[in-house]
Structure formats: structure tokens, C-alpha cells
Amino acid sequence: MSTMTIKNPVIRADVPDPSVIRVESTYYMVSTSMHSMPGCPIMKSTDLMHWDLVNYVFDTFEDNDAHNLLNGKGIYGKGSWAASLRHHNGMFYVCFSSNDMQQFYVYRTADIENGPWERSVIKGLHHDPALLFDDGRIFVIHGNGDIRITEFTADVTAHKPDGIDQLLFETERDGIGLRCEGCHAYKLNGYYYLIFIDWPRIGNRRRRVNVYRSRELLGPYENKIVLDDDMGYFNNGVAQGGIIDTPTGEWYAVLFQDYGAVGRIPCVVPVTWEEDWPILGIDGKAPQTFEVPLPSSEAKPLVISDEFDYMENKLALNWQWNHNPDNRYWSVTARPGFLRLATGYLARSVEYARNTLTQRTEGPACIARTVMDSSGMMPGDHAGMVALQSNFGTVGVQVADNGDRYVTMCVKQDGGEKAVESIRFESNWIYLRIDFNFVDNIDLAHFYYSENGETWNPIGRPLQMKYTLDHFMGYRIGLFNYATKQTDGFADFDYFHFAKKDAAQ
């Protein structure tokens, strides 16, 4: 049997709350996407190390001011949270809660890579849900500390009338900052296993993996801490996720770890069984490398360069919009070989600008470049590239009321954007670049512009990137254009070039 080496983290980018299944020899993973659209990305792998983005569960899932980033409203830190992925009787199921909508969403399809997905909406939150199929009955186990079990109909479209809906158990409170959540549920070896994350205030004071088990669905349950390790990285616990087996019977866990401003990144650890408990890691540690008896697959990039050469207005899967896009105001066909972002709305900052097109950043370091034609911009317009999180930084072109152009580096201040440095710029064409350094939580972004794409001029100041919970997402790279005075202007981006680095330049 062939083997390959797992090297942790397996993805150095924001792929939080992983939920993984195996169908024959293929693994599928879904993760949290919150305010990025399309949402609930589906990735697949044959070796648990190399993951390929193949689909999304939805393009958008609600149509209102907050999801559309209108009238000062947004769903930063909300949207789709902690989806559960399961496969049962030939159907794939994804379910999640949306805090802003106070609703529970269930999507199902027979074809996970192509869809279509059928949607059901159920009132009420089911926090961090775990789907469990059990002898013809379907349950969702959910909650934070107070763990509940709710029974669903056979097609998982509604609560089952007169079905089980009760408190299952309460998890430890004393000395615990974050009580058990992020459930992953399994029926194995004659036991029901519920795998949680919790975060104590005492002891190692980091996220850890806490497993509850019972021979009866409704309990009583006993629990055991099965992993409490940071893999040597700033006491950030490797936790939250589930377990998965191989076709030949080995077991592994797919978890995530907080990794500073780049986000929450997936890791894989071996699992052994001791007295019917899943024990994660090796000698209590999450290993940085280990061998798995799986055939290695081709590494495909999660973040890509793009020349914007499309025959139709359908972008590569690697792109996601910040909130719902308005498809009337973007195009890759209006000017072939270019991404055109037109202004359809006024906005006070890039944080509330519609149709900002984004991809993830990647660690340890990475560089993003673009070249932009600003000749279609109007007075009051602002277009360019953004390092996007709550504490954002931008580099781009601002057009003054008299039509003069300025290359400007801006940061967030008082809910808007403040120019750190602004320089008169004569040409319509400008090259823009952001360098991201995530090495050892340095978390700095540097901003540059150029007249020819070869000689780069630093502008503004380095941005101290911060992972904050109001956005709850790792930094993303965005291309943007918004209006502050009048609509109908546009900016054309000729390409987006991305390079991942092993260390900052």
C-alpha cells in the first residue's frame, strides 16, 4: 500500500469549522463561510492533505439589506456558521444556523460536486449542529454548554411532529470560558460519540477536544478530554472538528487551529482507539508530520491568479464576493480579459462597498498584485485592492471632485476610511500590490504602487492585521470599486496575480 506524509497545517488559509465525510475513497469537507458568497465551500481529497475546491452549497441564501450590504447593514461575523456535512442513502446533506436570520437551513443533493441543492428552512437556531442518522431516524444535536437533541422528519426538511426535542445534557461550567460546542456526532462500536470543543480558563487555557459517549442515545453520557495541544504555536489549541476513517480502517481527525490574522486553519491528526475512546494525536500531541496509508493526490491551489479571460460572467470557484453581489454591476465580458467593477451604490468605506471580489490570504506569507485602468472612474470614486477584515487597509485610486487622481493608502477609522498617504497620480493605469506576512503572528501587510509593474513604491504605512470577532474571518484580498458622490463609474482590472511565499520578502 502506498503512503504519504501529512504536514500540518494541511491548508494555511482560513477554512474554519471543518466537517468531513468519506464516500468510498473520496473525502469531502465543508466549512464556515459567513458573509462570503457563494457560501459553504465543498472541497474534496483522496489523501486528507491535498484539498481541491469543487463546489458551493449556495450562491446566496437570503436577500435583504444586511446580506446585500445596503443601508449601512451587513452580516459580518454572522451568515452561515459551522455547517454539518453528511452522506446517507445516496444523498448529501449540509445544515447550518444563521445567527442574523435566527433560522436553520438544510440543503440536500444527490451530486455534491455539481448540485443542484434543495433547500429547507426551519425557524429557530440550532447552534453548531451535528446531523446524526440512526436506524431510520434523523437527529440534530446542537447547543453551547446546554446540549440539545432535536428529531427531524425522514427527509430532513422539518422538525418531526411529536419527535424528540429536549435537553440532552449540560457540560461543565466551572473554570470553563467557552463551554462545549461545535458538535460532531457518530454512532460507532455500539456507542454514540459526541465530539466537542471547549476552552477552559484553568490548566493550559486553550481550546481542546472533549468527547462525550453513551450506549444510549439519550444518555447518560460520560466524557473524556482526548486532545489538549497547541502543536507549539502560541498556545492555540488544535480543536473543533470530527473524525473520519480510511477504506482500510485507520482513523484520523480533521480539526482547526487559530493562526492569527490569516484565520483558522485545518490540521489532521491520527486517531487511535483505547477502551472504545477515540484518542487524538500521538502521546497527547498533535504531530506536525506523520505518515498515512493513502495514495497522494495532486496539490491544487486554493488561492489562484486570474487573467480574467472568461467567455461568460462566471468566475473561477476560488473567488467569493463580500456579501451578496449585485450582478448588474460587474462583468468579465464587457471588456474581454478584464474584470469590470461598476458603481451602483454609494458607500462610506470599502467595508460597506458592494461587489468587492475576494480570495483568501495564505501563510506563511503571500503577495497579491493587480493592474487597474481608472479611466472610467468618476469624481468621488475609490477603487483598488484591500486587505479585508474589520481592521482593513487599502491601496488604490481616489478621484477628487475636480477629476484629479490620487493614489492613496487608507485604513479604517471611525467607521470609514482615512487616508494615511495620498499622492497625485497622472496616469489612468496603475499597478497595485499588497504583501502579507503571517510568520509567527507578525501579521503585517505592506502596500505598494507602481507606474510600470517593475519599480514598486511603498505607500502609507504597514497595517497591523488583527483577527477580530466582529468579522470572524481571516484576512482576505479584495478588488473593489465604490462611489461616494455619484454612481455609474467603473474600474477595469486586467489581472490578479497571487504568489505564496515560505517567508516574507
For residue 17, indicate whether it is catalytic: yes
Q: Is 350 helix (H, G, I), strand (E, B) or coil?
A: helix
Our CA dihedral for 498, 70, 342, 398, rounded to 10 degrees, sits at: -70
Q: Which residues contact 454 (CB under 8 A, 6 or more apart)?
A: none
Our CA dihedral for 210, 213, 217, 220, rounded to 10 degrees, sits at: -100
- 360 with 412: CB under 8 angstroms? no
* CA pair distance 163, 169, nearest whole angstrom: 18
Site of grid cell 434543495: 118
* CA pair distance 57, 86, nearest whole angstrom: 13
Q: Which residues pair with 341 in a beta bridge?
A: 330, 491
Report residue 290 as a C-alpha cell: 506523520
Query: Which of the residues 62, 128, 151, 181 is marked catalytic?
Result: 181
For the purposes of burial, counting CB atoms within 10 Å of the CB of 22, is it exposed (0-12), middle (13-18) or buried (19 or more)?
A: middle
For residue 454, indicate whether it is catalytic: no
Provide the residue type at 295 as one letter: P
Q: What is the 3-state secondary structure (H, E, C) of 371-387?
A: EEECCCCCCCEEEEEEE
Report residue 432 as a C-alpha cell: 497595485
Query: Which of the residues 14, 17, 128, 362 is marked catalytic?
Result: 17
* CA pair distance 242, 250, nearest whole angstrom: 14
> How would you list the strands of the sheet with 91-98, edge to edge?
80-88, 91-98, 103-109, 118-123
- 499 with 363: CB under 8 angstroms? no
Other beta carbons less than 10 A from residue 444's beta carbon:
17
Q: Is 187 helix (H, G, I), strand (E, B) or coil?
A: strand
What angle is formed at CA 126 by the lines to CA 123 and CA 131, rounded to 5 degrees? Answer: 115
Q: Which of 131, 95, 94 is nearest to 115 (CA)?
A: 94
* CA pair distance 176, 406, nearest whole angstrom: 51
Q: What is the 3-state secondary structure (H, E, C) of 192-232?
A: EEEEEEEEECCCCCCCEEEEEEECCCCCCCEEEEEECCCCC
Q: Which residues pair with 397 in a beta bridge?
A: 383, 407
Q: Which of 299, 314, 264 is nearest to 500 (CA)?
A: 299
Q: Give CA 159 to chain center in angstroms.
A: 28
Site of grid cell 504602487: 449
Report residue 480 as a C-alpha cell: 473593489
Catalytic residues: 17, 181
